[in-house]
Structure 1
Amino acid sequence: MHARVLRAALAIGLVTPMLTGCFEEPSPHEAVRDFLVGWQTGDYADAAQRVDGDPATVRGALQSFEVQLDAASIRFSMKGIQRNGDDARAEFHAQVDLGENNPLWEYDGALPLHLVDGVWKVRWSPSIIHPDLHAGQRLAVATVPEGRKPILDNQGNPLQEETKLYVAGVYPAKVKDPGRLCDQLSKITGFAQDRLLSRILSSPPRDFVPLATFGGTKYASIQAKLAVIKDLEIQPDTPPVAPKSPVQIVGRVAAITPEAEQQLGGPQRAGDTVGRDGLQKAYQDQLTGSTETRVVILDTKTSDQVKELKAWPGRKNDSVRTTIDSRVQKAGDGAVAGSRPTALVAVNATTGEILAVSTNQLNQEKDALAGKYPPGTTFSIIASDALLENGLTPSQKVPCSADRTVGGARFVQPGLLSPATPTFSGDFAQGCVTALASLARRVDGRALADSATEFGIGGDWGLPLKTFTGSVPEATTDAAVARLIAGTSVQVSPLSMALVAAAVDSGTWRPPVLVTSPSTPDASAEAPPAAPMPPKVLDPAMVGTLRTLMRWGVTKGTAKSAAARGGPVHGVASEVTQVVKKKRTNLSWFVGWQGDVAVAVLSHSADATTSAGIAGDFFSYLQRQTQAQTQT
């Protein structure tokens, strides 16, 4: 059953008892009942039998009411009947569902009746349809859609560029055969023929009515077919929807397909755009708002508006403002450019705001924000918090050996380093996995998990996009604890480690922020985010020690290339092997900061210095941009 017929059937099933309850007297009640029920259910012939006018005229007028409003359903309820001899007047209340989640239009009407040869009849005139409708006039639904609003960076600059789209539509007054036009367009686009037709017939004749929108590639493939459709017009449009960097965070926009039109509902109509992913999808309703809708009376000859019967302003659309700093984003993109799959996330250490998400051969959302990777010995930042809390000192001697077994778990230090500084500080700086793993008996798994929680691992962040906050497995044996300290059993995302660096830099762990306006994503979002964790002030003494350790990482450890390329930096680097479905991938990490910009870099490399060098390039590019900006 067609959706519109089904809705009408359900509506009359609810309303008929109310109508029949008023008709205990044989007439004029029966005439009112039969007329309204016939009109409501689309049985216009039955309704016309209760009218004193030409049946064909009445049937056409009632059907035109539904068509001109593109009504999904009509419901009537009686308000009362007054009889005065051979005349009567029935008052009713109408509820018209304008369809596609448009507003419900309600108004009061009246049916004048009189006896004709002993039978009650409704006196026919256009005012039966609506009190303000007269001969030579028609109803129409005028819409005023708002263009899609942009996604902005933290300076209010759009993160999209204009792209050329092609809008297929009509001016109803110029269309000689709308049924044929819609049938041809339906076969090309897949949009339902009856929906295209009702959109044309319900619109003001002189308004351009968009029916379908195409991107350049799609339009080129069907241009010849569209060209042969008589009275169809193609108008170019250049909305700002082509995403700038970070492309996958901003998200792509596409014209609504027939499938999307059915699934989305709401304000979207064929010809509109829909966010496919990223923030464009998360904030679809925010960016598109809803269409202004007006029910109007038009002069049938001139198409001039005679009167506005009702107007709904629609929900206002607005831009989405992000924390992305285009200057920092450019530096990140430049640093990761190359042949290796790499992800870089930069955050403001004092606010938690995400400044840049740059990738090469990796996805910015799925890998940089929501990727699941072992952090290797960069996890020693968190492990050190627990170890120092349990009495370990940075100067304590902890030998770094080529091979070590802890509780049955074997650890190998690739390329054994010189034991010139066999202390915990040196081991931390060099990322010596055997030395760090050997400390398993100095701390338990619960303490490590607690420290991870202090740094936001495994909590709720409240971001509108998919993220992975990290996970720390339960560790009850020496081997399991050693794997935690070594960062081989833990899973984190580049974003989670950037926040760890930010916490050491600022002294407070803060949840990440990506969007500053609006404060929450659309209620229609697939998975509304949970409330973010509150900030956590870290122990100042502990933070001071961690800062010293991370300075050693770039002066005496494997992260030297970060300082060599980027200047004064704090950080630590490591390499680790990830095994997924028997596939081994070598990963290189750098976690650190310069000034108030904290960064995590993940690169597919067996060399721990690779990501440190990328981080150094990032800070170097950022310094140059800052200098150039200052000079201008």
Structure 2
Amino acid sequence: MRRARRTLAATATLAVASTMLTGCFEEPSPHDAVRDFLVGWQSEDYDLAAGRTDGDLATVRKALSDAKLELDAASFRFKIERVSVTGEESRADFHAEVDLGENNPLWEYDGILPLHLVDGTWKVRWSPSVLHPQLKEGQRFAVDTEPVERQPVVDKDNDPLQSDTYLYVVGVYPSKLGDQAEDVVAKLSEVTGYAQDRLLSRIRSSPPGKFVPLVTFGRSRYEAMKSKLTAITGIETQPQKQPVDPDAPRQIVGSVSALTPESEQKLGGPQRAGDSVGKSGLQQAYQDYLTGSTETKVITLDLKTGKEVARLKEWRGRQNVSVKTTIDRAIQNAAEAAVADTDTSALVAVQRDTGEIRAVATKNMHQEKDALAGKFPAGTAFSIVAADALLKSKVSPKQRLACPQERTVGGAKFVHTGQTDGVTSSGTFQENFAKGCVTALASLARRVTATDLAKSATSFGVGLPWRLPLKSFSGSLPKLPTDADKAKAIAGQNVEVSPLGMALVGAAVASGTWRPPVLVTDPKSPDPAAEVVPAVQPAPVPVDPRVLTTLRTMMRAGAAGTVAQAGRGKVYGVKSTAGGGLTWFVGWQGDVAIAVLVKDYDAGAVAGSFFAGLGNSS
């Protein structure tokens, strides 16, 4: 599709080019011959161009046509620089722009058209040097490419987060095909779906003695098509080892496939047959960084020997690089083991003092769409954020609150699921926070303003436009015009969050500062092919020191007596319900903060298993 647009664009500019070439020519002169030759060459009207030379018409037509094939060119454009006349001899200097069609810069060069009078008519003195000053008799153009191997996605210690696997590159040696190239290409096109003209032009534009990659297959597709491919005489298959089989976290790392006709059209370049294409995760988000661009050379070859005679132009291409993530393999392994026995769960672990994502593990949930970008009810896990606003509003952690089974606040009804005997219990704000008594917490709605709740939410990153190379969700808090709305917010019933967002909340209390998430540390800039992301990360936000110590004490109480705490050193956290069978645990141990979201399972047990797996007793 991209190539077609280029050709169309070249055709659309032809009228302008013709005007440019003819605007000041009002009488027969060398200019007429120059104009017709270059316009004919540019528009592929080779009869027009050949008729303005003194060469054999068939020879000139073929040379012009072959030049386009040998360069695999999408288009030619020309501009006359000057024309000089000395008696019956003339010389035209022109500038050429050749679109090589692979996302390389235009190949630009300066050429010369020698002319002389033949029976009173100006003719271009034909020789191969008319096409390029360095092209001689017995030579042809060629484009020599060197694809670069895909680089890996790595963890924080630069160890690859994928294993090597084989892709199968089907191609040809042009010198071995003889006059069978078109037949071979027709059969390969029928089997693979690649455009026949594209395959043929790649063969004809390549050095004859060099293997030309045409189609790439993954293992399963290659095995399925192997019999059809081996039936085509003249093609060869070369296994190519590439780091494309993802390790955990698999959906974050992402999958890779061989280049297909569809993906080639979509990407447009610089990919060629033999390349791999990221389909998801970081492999897709950093496709251009991981693949770089193909090294390309325009050369001339000796027709008899097939050897390079001259190098006319060379582009080294953009250097490809590995993508360094913040994933810690040991922490990732502990997270994978922690969710293994659940049916539906997500666990995100972050470094508490940097916001760097250390692990993302899920069971029957998607690591990107759910763990990073999921929109789930916060439940009383949001009471961490609400407590920040309440403590700033002078609510004492020692204030006693009733915890009935049911309570109505501003017309909104709240039910504490942990209270089943109908007896109203009571306890301090800290104790009700620790056990997630929704009726007690909701009763504090009149003690805090909507503005204060919104400020605390923002200070813990809720709704901030942080930058991440994958989809993510920072949370949302609605407007809170009534006491009922504020009560729902304190109970997390009208607040949506992601596991990533809640892990960062835990990290903020643990470190004393909220920080935006970080997943990739190198390259520093977003991939040029990635979706638009905010240019600047939100600034870190310190937690108010007047409430920080109290918040930590409350979260220490929240973890005490839970499965997350049992026998595993000092753990801080809040375990809560969010409705629909979902439960949360948000907290930290040592320098790792986590958020666990599970369905029909004890989130605290998952957190405890994770901390035990780390062996951290800080």
- Range into which the TM-score falls when normalised by the shorter chain: over 0.9
1:210 Cα deviation (Å)? Answer: 0.9
For residue 570 of structure 1, what is the amino acid of its counterpart?
A: Y
Give the one of 380, 389, 407 matched to 1:404: 407
For residue 151 of structure 1, what is the amino acid of its counterpart?
A: V
For residue 376 of structure 1, what is the amino acid of its counterpart?
A: G
- Residue 182 in structure 1 maps to residue 185 in structure 2: yes
1:117 maps to which residue?
A: 119
Of residues 521-530 and 413-422 in structure 1, the stretch that sits farther from structure 2 once superposed is 413-422
For residue 599 of structure 1, what is the amino acid of its counterpart?
A: I
Q: TM-score, normalised by structure 2?
A: 0.96
2:91 maps to which residue?
A: 89
CA contact (8 A) 1:287 1:319 kept: yes
1:206 maps to which residue?
A: 209
- Please show how residues 395-474 of structure 1 align to structure 2 within 5 Å: 395-416=398-419, 422-474=427-479
1:38 Cα deviation (Å)? Answer: 1.1
1:593 maps to which residue?
A: 588
CA offset digits 1:349-383 (Å, max 9, x no partner): 11110000011110000000001111211111111
Of residues 492-501 and 477-486 in structure 1, the stretch that sits farther from structure 2 once superposed is 477-486
CA contact (8 A) 1:566 1:617 kept: no
CA offset digits 1:461-501 (Å, max 9, x no partner): 11111011000111121211111111111100001110000
Distance 2:5 2:270 in 1: 18
SS of 1:352's equivalent in the other structure is coil
1:555 Cα deviation (Å)? Answer: 1.6
Distance 1:518 1:622 in 2: 29
User: Following superposition, which runs of at least 4 residues in structure 1 exceed 3 angstroms of deviation?
Assistant: 1-5, 417-421
Of residues 79-88 and 275-284 in structure 1, the stretch that sits farther from structure 2 once superposed is 79-88
Distance 1:205 1:103 in 2: 24
1:278 maps to which residue?
A: 281
Q: Structure 1: where are the runs of 5+ without partners? A: 578-584, 628-632
Give the one of 570, 573, 577 matched to 1:571: 573
CA contact (8 A) 2:568 2:612 kept: yes
Distance 1:129 1:534 in 2: 58
1:59 Cα deviation (Å)? Answer: 0.8
Distance 2:407 2:591 in 1: 38
SS of 2:141's equivalent in the other structure is strand
For residue 382 of structure 2, what is the amino acid of its counterpart?
A: F
Of residues 467-476 and 182-191 in structure 1, the stretch that sits farther from structure 2 once superposed is 182-191
1:5 Cα deviation (Å)? Answer: 4.7
For residue 441 of structure 1, what is the amino acid of its counterpart?
A: R
Distance 1:119 1:281 in 2: 59
1:531 maps to which residue?
A: 536
Distance 1:371 1:474 in 2: 21
1:253 maps to which residue?
A: 256
CA contact (8 A) 1:565 1:616 kept: no
1:615 maps to which residue?
A: 607
- Please show how residues 230-379 of structure 1 align to structure 2 within 5 Å: 230-379=233-382
CA contact (8 A) 2:416 2:437 kept: yes
For residue 615 of structure 1, what is the amino acid of its counterpart?
A: A
- Residue 76 in structure 1 maps to residue 78 in structure 2: yes
Distance 1:493 1:77 in 2: 58
Give the one of 195, 207, 228 matched to 1:192: 195
Structure 1 pair 3–437 and aligned structure 2 pair: CA distance change class (3 A): closer
CA contact (8 A) 1:22 1:29 kept: no
CA offset digits 1:532-571 (Å, max 9, x no partner): 2100111112110000001111225xxx100115332011
1:611 Cα deviation (Å)? Answer: 0.6
Percent identity of the aligned residues?
58
1:458 Cα deviation (Å)? Answer: 0.5
Give the one of 221, 225, 228 matched to 1:222: 225
SS of 2:126's equivalent in the other structure is coil
Q: TM-score, normalised by structure 1?
A: 0.94
CA contact (8 A) 1:567 1:616 kept: no
1:509 maps to which residue?
A: 514
Distance 1:53 1:462 in 2: 63
CA offset digits 1:221-278 (Å, max 9, x no partner): 2111111112111111110011111111111111122121111113112332111111
For residue 532 of structure 1, what is the amino acid of its counterpart?
A: Q
SS of 1:259's equivalent in the other structure is helix
For residue 330 of structure 2, what is the amino acid of its counterpart?
A: R
CA offset digits 1:143-176 (Å, max 9, x no partner): 1111111111000011110112111111111123
1:102 Cα deviation (Å)? Answer: 2.1
CA offset digits 1:107-149 (Å, max 9, x no partner): 1111112222222221111111111111111111111111111
CA contact (8 A) 1:475 1:481 kept: yes
SS of 1:163's equivalent in the other structure is strand
SS of 1:210's equivalent in the other structure is strand
2:49 maps to which residue?
A: 47
CA offset digits 1:313-367 (Å, max 9, x no partner): 1111111111111111011001010242110000001111000001111000000
Aligned residue-pair number? 613
For residue 84 of structure 2, what is the amino acid of its counterpart?
A: Q
SS of 2:210's equivalent in the other structure is coil
CA contact (8 A) 2:217 2:258 kept: yes
For residue 283 of structure 1, what is the amino acid of its counterpart?
A: Y
CA contact (8 A) 2:403 2:426 kept: no
Distance 2:544 2:485 in 1: 27
Give the one of 58, 61, 65 matched to 2:60: 58
1:133 maps to which residue?
A: 135
Q: Structure 2: where are the runs of 5+ without partners? A: none
For residue 514 of structure 1, what is the amino acid of its counterpart?
A: L
1:511 Cα deviation (Å)? Answer: 0.6
Distance 1:239 1:570 in 2: 43
For residue 364 of structure 1, what is the amino acid of its counterpart?
A: Q
Distance 1:505 1:383 in 2: 16
Distance 1:83 1:402 in 2: 103
1:397 Cα deviation (Å)? Answer: 0.6
Distance 1:93 1:314 in 2: 24
1:603 maps to which residue?
A: 598
For residue 591 of structure 1, what is the amino acid of its counterpart?
A: V
2:556 maps to which residue?
A: 551
Distance 1:332 1:566 in 2: 16
